[in-house]
């Protein structure tokens, strides 16, 4: 997708995460993250459109959890679009993106613009 058409800022990250497919947790590392999705290291065997879970553990009893679908899986990595973010997770995802971006107000302003076309 053309960078100018993106509606959510992506930030470079390197967090250990889990992608859950068919009840199996598979480890990945995030390459970038946004309020709308993530790019992770390659995870073979996933196809575009496939549903999965996504989780970043922040502490032993605190994590960011989302439902996602595979957008792309190729040598550049696994691109996930979040289809639902747990209500308790969203503030943590927001803060994580803000911290990596360095301009919390800019990321906060993005929330006033719809992320998806109607």
User: Residues 22-61: pLDDT tens digits?
Assistant: 999 999 999 999 999 999 999 988 999 999 999 999 999 9
Q: Please give the residue range of the domain that contains residue 52.
A: 3-110
Contact predicate 81/69, CB 8 Å: yes
CATH classification of the domain holding 73: 2.40.10.220
User: Residues 67-102: pLDDT tens digits?
Assistant: 999 999 999 999 999 999 989 999 999 999 988 887
Does 115 map to a domain? no
- The reported pTM is 0.84
Q: According to DSSP H, which parts of the chain are helical?
A: 90-101, 104-110
Does 117 map to a domain? no
Tally of domains in the chain: 1
């Amino acid at each position: 997708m053309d960078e100018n058409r993106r509606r959510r800022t992506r930030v470079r990250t390197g967090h250990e995460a889990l992608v859950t497919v068919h009840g199996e947790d598979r480890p990945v590392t995030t390459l970038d993250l946004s309020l709308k999705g993530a790019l992770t290291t390659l995870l073979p065997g996933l196809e575009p459109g496939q549903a999965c879970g996504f989780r970043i553990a922040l502490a032993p009893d605190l994590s960011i959890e989302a439902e996602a679908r595979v957008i792309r899986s190729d040598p550049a990595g696994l691109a996930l679009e979040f289809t639902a973010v747990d209500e308790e997770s969203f503030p943590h995802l927001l803060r994580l993106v803000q911290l990596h971006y360095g301009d919390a107000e800019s990321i906060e302003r993005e929330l006033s613009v719809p992320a998806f076309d109607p």
